[in-house]
Structure 1
Amino acid sequence: MSEVFSVGMKKELRFKTQAEHSARRFFENLPDVFATPFLGGLMEQVSAMLIDEHLEPGMQSVGMSMNLKHLAPTPLGMEVRVVTEVTAVEGRKLTFTLEAFDEVEKIGEATHERFIIKADKFNARVEEKARKMAS
């Protein structure tokens, strides 16, 4: 599995921000700008997309950690570009370095770890946990 992934692999995602991506969606007394949780979501998405392009059937990835710095505000309506790069491969664990830019400047950076899983085994664990809650 890990031989499919190598340090230096990259992927880019472009995203047009809209009104529903406002920080005010999370709390009314926040600026009406592109929200940090959406930025983090884009960073997770582009990293997952890179992995998914190389996975065997029945495999998925899950996020393990993210250390995100939101450096500058982005007015709603601007396009955001997020670039992810694989910086470490340790078996089924991949580490990414990410940068995000709006149409004017760099707006964010992060490190992110993802783990490749067998979907059926993972889903069985989730179902077992849900059953424990229902009991």
Structure 2
Amino acid sequence: MVAVPVGAAAELVVVVTQEMTVHFDELGPVHPVYATYTMAKHFEEAGRKLLLRHLAPGEAGIGRSVSVDHLGPSWVGDTVRVTARCVEARGNRLTCACVATDAAGRELGRGSTVQVVLPEAELAARIGEGARRRGP
């Protein structure tokens, strides 16, 4: 059972680096701005920061889903503040609404994350080395 109160929040503050800009494996560099996939990663990280404060001993969390609406650009050197706020904690799932803003308060993106809480042993059985050897 996830015990995160609705409204609880966590923040992540990052400074955009070159590594956070749009650069695809096959296509190479595309735009010199904060990438949508990096924003998604930061949404997940902020949500995880929130969840970690509320896990009971022997519990572990894993990401289930993330959504991102990227609304505006930010550039290398810009500070981005990502906030994840609990909107629902039901059963073993935590749902967070996420927002990314720049130093001036301009909204860069919004979205959500869902994390699932499982006993550590169960999660290890699902994703650990033994599960890898068994295959899908």
Is the TM value for this pair above 0.5? yes
The residue aligned with 1:90 is 90
Unaligned 5+ residue runs, structure 2?
Answer: none
- Unaligned stretches of 5+ residues in structure 1: none
Structure with greater proportional strand content:
2
Q: Distance in 2 between matches of 1:31 and 1:77?
A: 15
Structure 1 vs Structure 2 CA RMSD: 1.6
The equivalent of 1:9 in structure 2 is 8
| TM-score (normalised: structure 1) | 0.89
Q: Percent identity?
A: 26
> What TM-score results when the alignment is normalised by the length of structure 2?
0.88
Aligned to 1:71: 71
Runs of 4 or more, structure 1, over 3 Å off, are none
By how many angstroms is 1:25 displaced?
A: 5.2
**CA displacement at 1:128 relative to structure 2:** 3.7
2:23 is aligned to 24
Query: Where in structure 2 are the equivalents of 1:1-135 lying within 5 Å?
Result: 1-2=1-2, 4-24=3-23, 26=25, 27-104=27-104, 105-126=106-127, 127-133=129-135
Cα–Cα, structure 1 residues 17 and 25, in superposed 2: closer, same or farther, change >3 Å?
farther
Bigger proportion of residues as helix: 1
Aligned equivalents of 2:29, 2:73: Cα separation in 1: 16
